[in-house]
Structure 1
Amino acid sequence: MKSDRINFPSGFWAGIQQIGVSPHDVAGKAQLPLTIITEPAKVTAAQYFRIWEAYSELVGNAAIGIIKLVTVFEATHYPPTVLATYHARSYRDALNRMARYKQMCPPESLRITEEGELCTIELEWLSSPQLEHPVLVGTTLAFLLELGRRGTGQHVTAHSVEFTHKMSIEEVKPLEAYFGCPVRTGAAGNRLTLHRRDLDRPFTTYNKELLEIITPILDRTLDEQTSRSIPEMVKWTLKRSLSGGHLDIRAVASELGMSDRTLQRRLTEEGTTFKQLLTQARHEQAREYLADPKLDIKEVAFLIGYEDQNSFYRAFRLWEGATPANWRAYYFRLNPTS
């Protein structure tokens, strides 16, 4: 069954090499083939996070790993989705474009909320939050601020930054110096909060002609991806929320911007049901998580929404005709480097 794959940015390798970290060492430590460095690659969520974990371990200090990478990363290495933000009209335009085009680059998405004098950008995860890495989170949030600094040519500072992960004082201090604001760890979410007034700043890098070329291409690509069938959209939504407890059709319909009756009708027209899609989402995510050796089977059961391990075992045997442990053992015999 097809797993969700993530486009890994090729510019990452050039960036870490510039700060003295060997791409070969990172790929090797992440147990990935060296061809990932030289060829465009799509990786699984587990492989994606292993790359970030390997990079973090080789750098040693999470804060240094975050700050060095975002500040050294050259615009020439930006993929088209990021170029469209770098050459936007203003900081607000850039952030909105980033949130829009981030939909094409899982596993994280951006939720932007403007209220009062502040603008909050929160990271949300398609894959399990347990797989997210503090250096990946920090790099994503720092890049959003770096984008504003590079685009406006001004030393924009944040109002506040929050990480769900705990960090040492030695790591927090450099981050506070970089962001120019307090950094809170062990928070309920990963958030960058900006001063709303900064969003109106124009970008000196604004390039109308370039945007007129690449925006229609990106929008067409995004529309092709987001014009997935209603069942695919429901499964995608379910996968983001499986570990959050009971999921009903009303909650999913609300997230998709329609009533539960409308969603039920659309699913019937597609020849499926909400219950079938929930089962498929759990099945696909179970395979994805079992392919990650760092997750034990009890964790996998929880992450796909089962309150007890026995219920997960029964369901998995119906899906695969084998226990989760036997399936995992067979998988690693076939994929010894995964």
Structure 2
Amino acid sequence: MIRACFGEKWIPYEVHFEHHRPQEWRELERMFRSKIRFDQSDNALVLELNDLDRPLLNRTSSGFAPFLRKHIEDILADEPETIPLEHQVRQIISRDLGKVPVNLTSLSAELGIPARTLQRHLAEQGTSVREIIRKLKQQEARTLLTQSNRHIGTVSQAVGYTDQAAFWRAFKSWEGVSPADYQRAKRKKR
């Protein structure tokens, strides 16, 4: 339905599924033409911000807009008033990982709260910015090494490491094997 409005070339930024990765996950990747993530907290199509400003292709497809608006209003009505701070932090880090530097200062600025307040709230939840970043880097690295044929250096950059050796050491500490060994083992299982 979205492609009927925006054109056949439109693709979501990412697609999230709550369930585990099925054997036929490549078919989903082919259909969505996008990064697919499994074992997520929600089923979701993640859009680029500029998708919200795209004009509809033609007037006949505008019948989709009221349906979509009603659906979004229903979802928002079921959502709690505020998104937990830890979840907001995870969303920002996931969005920016490997694209721009992510740290306590940048996160607190985007969230509009002092860095110390952010640290305190996360500590109350038993975590920290550093821990969230580490877990998301680890999760993304495993996903990229498992689901793509990317070179280790490309994966390293995609998860925010400018130094491939630093990525190699970090990954080995997380998984107990080098990124290359991990990738080879996962390819054999396919």
CA shift for structure 1 position 244: 2.3
From 157, 172, 184, give the equivalent of 1:329: 184
CA-based RMSD of the aligned residues comes to 3.7
Q: Measure the CA separation in 2 of the matches of 1:231 and 1:253.
A: 12
Q: Secondary structure at the match of 1:244?
A: coil
The one of 33, 49, 74 aligned to 1:110? 49
Pick aligned residue for 1:276 from 115, 125, 131: 131
Cα distance between partner residues in 2 of 1:266 and 1:149: 48
Q: Which runs of 5+ in 1 are unaligned?
A: 8-31, 34-42, 54-102, 113-119, 122-140, 153-202
Q: How far off its partner does 1:51 sit?
A: 3.5
Shift of the alpha carbon at 1:246? 2.6
2:141 maps to: 286
SS of alignment partner, residue 243 of structure 1? coil
Aligned partner of residue 291 in structure 1, secondary structure: helix
The CA deviation string for residues 217-261 of structure 1, in whole angstroms up to 9 with x for no partner, is 42245x26x73x433332221121121243221212233343323
Q: Distance in 1 between matches of 2:66 and 2:99?
A: 41
What residue in structure 2 maps to residue 158 of structure 1? none
| Residue 43 of structure 2 is aligned to residue 219 of structure 1 | no
1:230 aligned to which of 81, 85, 90: 85
Q: What residue in structure 1 maps to residue 61 of structure 2?
A: 150
**Greater Rg, structure 1 or structure 2?**
1
SS in 2 for 1:306: coil
What SS does the corresponding residue of 2:57 show, helix, strand or coil?
Answer: helix
CA deviation map 1:68-127 (0-9, x unaligned)? xxxxxxxxxxxxxxxxxxxxxxxxxxxxxxxxxxx9633333258xxxxxxx83xxxxxx
Which residue of the other structure, out of 54, 77, 96, is the alignment partner of 1:241?
A: 96
Query: Aligned to 1:106, what secondary structure does the other structure show?
Result: strand
Amino-acid identity (%): 23
Q: TM-score, normalised by structure 1?
A: 0.41
Q: Which of structure 1's runs of 4+ aligned residues deviate more than 2 A?
A: 4-7, 46-53, 103-112, 146-152, 214-217, 229-233, 253-262
Cα distance change, pair 107–206 in 1 and its aligned pair in 2 (3 A): closer
> Greater RCO between the two (CA within 8 Å, min separation 6)?
1
Letter aligned with residue 274 of structure 1: V
Per-residue CA deviation, residues 259-294 of structure 1 (Å, 9 max, x unaligned), is 323312211111211111111111111011112333
Q: How far is 1:49 from its partner?
A: 4.5
The AA in structure 1 aligned to 2:16 is I
Name the CA distance, whole Å, in 1 between partners of 2:93 and 2:124. Answer: 20
Contact 1:6 1:48 in 2 (8 A): no
Compared with structure 1, are the counterparts of its residues 330 and 258 closer, same or farther at alpha carbon in structure 2 (3 Å cutoff)?
same
